[in-house]
Structure 1
């Protein structure tokens, strides 16, 4: 059943990432929407590696992207949820009432309780700060990227290409690019080798210090450490009393409504969404944007069908001149087809451009 009605409702959306902004734009066609997010501009998360390497730019203002919709942008953070009273307490001391709440606060880099990580490493969210640090250092040194998944690979290749005098290493608990097909992983390793990136696999980080890493495979020197480990959902859902899974992601039904509080929709990385035939969706832009678009249509009365989703591809930037597009099955398992080099780079660029176009 649809959660939409023909009467206007007070809709509050928490978070202006891919999921939150697309929800607000869809629902804001015919309803008044309050979008709560402290940022002035879109945080174009899939391009953080470019920002870290000095290639980033100011992305569109949220107000610009919300133009033409009945959206009020409140530049604040949600501090507390009163689910029984249908209220959101903001960090500026004000309170918002709602008829329908959309939780789209997403995820953040997880430190995994590793000693020294939060104190001595740059999380991917601090990309602009990392760029300033690298540009402000006259003497090149060693830089270690912790994480062998997509974020770590994109950061390592982009940084190595932008700063060739630095010795870049990538450190992974498992295999770097191990989620991809053998052909795709082999290409990733060739690019890392071409860019002079040292690969440390099977090395779980046990401590981060100002001068490097302690790992299960031995020490790794690093003047700068970049932390690109897995993500964890924003803690507000669990703290407020929404039903969550063992990772803290809100449990939702087929309409992306909280199973414990059906007047709350949860979209993006904060939601544990299981789709028949596809499985439990992974965190990322590829799933967050469709979720937001769906709930926006649902609240606007333009659909009454359950949420459906199938994967198509995964893509990687590998510096300015290379990229990878890995075709996948609907359940996200790897197909043998891979585009690499210029074709992969252009495919990745087209997908990223499509994300921004969808938000506009």
Structure 2
């Protein structure tokens, strides 16, 4: 018999990695063992996936290397089931099982290609470095043949991808298809700058268009219009893993785990949900799945677990947004600074200063992991001010 408290973290993305490393540091003097489970041994920098899609080579960061010296055990495999009664995680359909006393659920979201016919067959996504790399290979072929590329989805991911592609392959016919006006969450001046960059890069913007089908060489729009597309990149729609719902953990209509004010499952308090796996609601609204909000949930949860293991009380999670950083290729960017609820503030940044700012943001998680092995590094820039002190409605 042993009394070691077993913590299992499912998911080695931005939030899962940070929570595991910070947990190891915060519980280093306690009888605790932390285990991280992830399908791949490579750490995926999702903030840079559009760079891979455009054909750029990124550093290969291995999870065991990032965990070296922390004491965290890494298990490579996919968590395929959770037995909440036995408190056990099943890995790779039974190839291994992991018992837990505390579970940190950090299974991220992915782009949903299942709602539009043909998207799952003929479109590429940024769901993994491997898929993005295959798109980059196809992109090179399309550029040589003077073909056309469509990016479906006018959110910030689609904008960044279209800009990166257009800059990396000048002269290529790139069309960004968006149901709504792009970047409406930004202030007027920042958005105007972004729209000028899209025009400067030669990107064709098709707004108010709904894609109804993806074909091998075209996308079909509502009304029957066909747009030639030698390669289609799908960046719209989000889905989450059914793992939590299948385990009987309380989730919302999208499959996100319902959590209390301390990010614990409302149905299973021994389970903590972080990042875009959790339905986190604050007084000013529900946070959306970004690295900006995900890293603070990981930090908070690691600290909360450590405090509870020491018999201490835990204050509710507080967070506020402070920026919307958008790269526009490697040589341009725009940063919209925001209020806590992610609505645009007065200030914004453009040009070389914005490029440097965005690069710092994209590289900050890896820096945070390295520093967190030996000190408590904060990722919470804003706690949301007065609004987040109130309980959620």
1:76 has 2:77 as partner: yes
CA RMSD of aligned residues (A): 1.6
Residue 193 of structure 1 is matched in structure 2 by: 199
Residue 183 of structure 1 is matched in structure 2 by: 189
Question: In terms of mean alpha carbon deviation, does 128-137 or 30-39 score higher?
Answer: 128-137
- Unaligned runs of 5+ residues in structure 2 are 371-393
Question: In terms of mean alpha carbon deviation, does 66-75 or 294-303 score higher?
Answer: 294-303
Residue 103 of structure 2 is matched in structure 1 by: 101
Which residue of 99, 110, 134 maps to 2:139?
Answer: 134
Question: In terms of mean alpha carbon deviation, does 179-188 or 9-18 score higher?
Answer: 179-188
User: Any residues of structure 2 matched to 1:240-251 within 5 Å, and which?
Assistant: 240-251=247-258
1:279 has 2:285 as partner: yes
- Unaligned runs of 5+ residues in structure 1 are 1-6
3-state secondary structure, aligned to 1:208: strand
Which residue of 104, 110, 113 maps to 1:111?
Answer: 113
Residue 149 of structure 1 is matched in structure 2 by: 155
Contact 1:41 / 1:58 at 8 angstroms: preserved in 2?
no
Q: How many residues end up aligned between the 2 structures?
A: 353
**TM-score using structure 1 length:** 0.94
3-state secondary structure, aligned to 2:183: coil
3-state secondary structure, aligned to 1:148: coil
CA distance in 2, matches of 1:312, 1:220: 38
CA distance in 1, matches of 2:351, 2:121: 37
1:100-133, Cα deviation, whole Å (9 max, x unpaired): 1111011000125100001000011221111122
List 4+ stretches of structure 1 deviating above 6 A.
none
CA distance in 1, matches of 2:300, 2:63: 20
Contact 1:18 / 1:359 at 8 angstroms: preserved in 2?
no
Contact 2:114 / 2:120 at 8 angstroms: preserved in 1?
no
CA distance in 2, matches of 1:203, 1:336: 31
3-state secondary structure, aligned to 1:27: helix
Residue 21 of structure 1 is matched in structure 2 by: 17
3-state secondary structure, aligned to 2:269: coil
1:296-348, Cα deviation, whole Å (9 max, x unpaired): 12222287222111111110000011001101001111113211121221111
Residue 297 of structure 1 is matched in structure 2 by: 303
CA distance in 1, matches of 2:216, 2:173: 16
CA distance in 1, matches of 2:198, 2:41: 35
Contact 2:162 / 2:176 at 8 angstroms: preserved in 1?
yes
Residue 3 of structure 1 is matched in structure 2 by: none
CA distance in 2, matches of 1:48, 1:320: 13
Question: In terms of mean alpha carbon deviation, does 53-62 or 167-176 score higher?
Answer: 53-62
1:336 has 2:346 as partner: yes
Q: What is the Cα deviation at residue 10 of structure 1? A: 0.4
User: Any residues of structure 2 matched to 1:117-128 within 5 Å, and which?
Assistant: 117-125=119-127, 126-128=131-133
1:226 has 2:233 as partner: yes
Residue 361 of structure 2 is matched in structure 1 by: 351
Contact 2:166 / 2:202 at 8 angstroms: preserved in 1?
yes
Residue 210 of structure 1 is matched in structure 2 by: 216
CA distance in 2, matches of 1:112, 1:341: 37
